[in-house]
């Protein structure tokens, strides 16, 4: 019996595509739905092209009413009976009301070596700090932003000539390797963190 995976996106969905494409053959999970918080999210077409159901819950009509938005998210994905929820570039903060029922079943990818640089502009912050390495992290989602047990990380060297965009591009290549690897591991019931270097 395959685990069912829901994936939330906000944009191009390149991580989502890698997750969906990884879930074939002897993989213990299969994608059941991709949800975006905007109909403009480019990733929706990539999901549909792959035969995965898509849903949109636009946050804007909720005018900041997070509880109502989150209730709509939950109601929209409920029929898919997902076992695991992957956030993949989903740019809305989710509160404890949404996250708590998913405890231990919800993953996120973040473009930094957590616990460093929670939130936005991670690559510029790593450059500004003079760090020698950047990277990405897949972690379990808890109610605290970009927190929760770490399930995998990749370290990426920072080159002297790097701009934030250069670094983002090199880290994204590693995100595309890390997230499918962690999801496979997680769906098989394993929680030991995976550690890689570029």
112 binds ligand GRF (CB under 6 A): no
Least distance to ligand GRF, CB of residue 17, Å: 8
180 binds ligand GRF (CB under 6 A): no
| Cα 23 from Cα 19, distance rounded (Å) | 7
Active site residues: 110
Of 12-20, 94-102, 124-132, 152-160, the segment contacting ligand GRF by CB under 6 A is 12-20
Helix 14-22 vs helix 164-187: crossing angle, to nearest 10: 30
37 binds ligand GRF (CB under 6 A): no
Least distance to ligand GRF, CB of residue 41, Å: 8
Interface mask (CB under 6 A) for ligand GRF, residues 121-140, using x and -? --------------------
Q: Which is nearer to ligand GRF, 38 or 71 (CB)?
A: 38
Q: Quote the longest CA-to-CA distance of the chain.
A: 50
174 binds ligand GRF (CB under 6 A): no
Number of shown-chain residues binding ligand GRF (CB under 6 A): 14
31 binds ligand GRF (CB under 6 A): no
According to CB under 6 A, which residues from 77 to 106 bind ligand GRF?
A: 88-89
Question: Which residues contact residue 99 at a Cβ distance below 8 angstroms, ignoring those fewer than 6 apart?
Answer: 106, 141, 142, 143
Q: Are 92 and 15 in contact (CB under 8 A)?
A: no
**How many CB atoms neighbour CB 45 within 10 A?**
11
Q: Are 133 and 91 in contact (CB under 8 A)?
A: no
**How many CB atoms neighbour CB 173 within 10 A?**
14
* Interface residue list for ligand GRF (CB under 6 A): 9, 11-16, 88-89, 109-111, 172, 175
């Amino acid at each position: 019996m395959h685990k069912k995976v829901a994936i939330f996106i906000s944009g191009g969905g390149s991580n989502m595509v890698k997750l969906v494409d990884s879930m074939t053959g002897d993989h213990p999970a299969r994608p059941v739905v991709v949800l975006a918080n905007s109909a403009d999210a480019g990733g929706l077409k990539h999901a549909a092209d792959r035969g995965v159901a898509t849903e949109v819950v636009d946050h804007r009509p909720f005018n900041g009413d997070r509880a109502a938005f989150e209730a709509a998210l939950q109601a929209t994905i409920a029929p898919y009976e997902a076992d695991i929820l992957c956030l993949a570039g989903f740019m809305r903060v989710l509160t404890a009301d949404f996250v708590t029922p998913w405890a231990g079943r919800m993953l996120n990818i973040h473009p930094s070596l957590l616990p460093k640089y929670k939130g936005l502009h991670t690559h510029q912050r790593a450059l500004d700090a003079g760090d020698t390495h950047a990277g990405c992290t897949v972690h379990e989602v808890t109610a605290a932003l970009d927190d929760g047990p770490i399930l995998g990380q990749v370290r990426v060297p920072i080159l002297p000539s790097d701009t934030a965009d250069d670094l983002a591009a090199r880290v994204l290549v590693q995100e595309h390797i890390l997230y499918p690897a962690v999801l496979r591991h997680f769906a098989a019931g394993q929680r030991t963190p995976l550690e890689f270097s570029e």
